C-alpha cells in the first residue's frame, strides 16, 4: 500500500466519520435509531474511504479538490442508489431522493479531501 493511499485513506476515514455524525447525528436525527454500533460505523467509514483512496490514487489519478469532489458525487450517488434498493423493500421517493443527495454530497466531500491529500503528498 502506498503512502498516498494510506494517508488519504486515514484522513478520509476521519472526515467521513465526522460528516456522518454531523448529518445523521445532528441534522437528520430521524434517520438514526440511536442504537447503532459506533465501531461498525467507523469500520464502514474506514473501508469506504480506503476504497475511494485506492480508486483515486491507483485507477483514476485524481488529485485536485474539484475533480475529487465531482468524482465523489458520482460515486456517492451511484452507491446510494444501490444501497437504497438493497436495503429498502418499499419504494419511497422522498427517502430515495434524500439518500441520493446526502450520499452524493458526503462522498463528494470525502472525495475532495482524499484528492486534496493526494495532491499534497505528490
C-alpha cell, 61: 489519478
Q: What is the pLDDT of residues 60-114, one digit of tens each?
A: 999 999 999 999 999 999 999 999 888 877 778 898 999 999 999 999 999 999 9
pTM: 0.90
Q: Classify residue 30 by its DSSP letter.
A: G
Taking the C-alpha atoms of residue 16 and residue 109, their distance in angstroms, rounded to an integer, is 8
Task: Tell me how far apart the alpha carbons of residues 56 and 9 are, in angstroms, rounded to a whole number.
Answer: 10
Domain boundaries, the chain: 3-121
Amino acid at each position: 500500500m502506498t503512502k498516498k493511499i494510506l494517508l488519504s485513506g486515514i484522513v478520509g476515514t476521519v472526515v467521513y466519520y465526522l460528516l456522518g455524525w454531523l448529518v445523521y447525528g445532528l441534522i437528520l436525527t430521524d434517520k438514526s435509531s440511536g442504537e447503532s454500533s459506533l465501531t461498525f460505523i467507523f469500520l464502514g467509514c474506514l473501508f469506504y474511504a480506503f476504497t475511494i483512496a485506492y480508486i483515486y490514487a491507483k485507477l483514476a489519478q485524481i488529485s485536485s479538490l474539484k475533480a475529487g469532489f465531482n468524482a465523489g458525487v458520482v460515486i456517492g450517488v451511484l452507491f446510494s442508489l444501490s444501497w437504497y434498493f438493497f436495503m429498502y423493500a418499499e419504494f419511497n421517493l422522498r427517502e430515495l431522493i434524500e439518500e441520493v443527495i446526502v450520499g452524493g454530497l458526503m462522498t463528494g466531500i470525502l472525495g475532495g479531501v482524499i484528492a486534496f491529500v493526494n495532491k499534497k503528498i505528490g
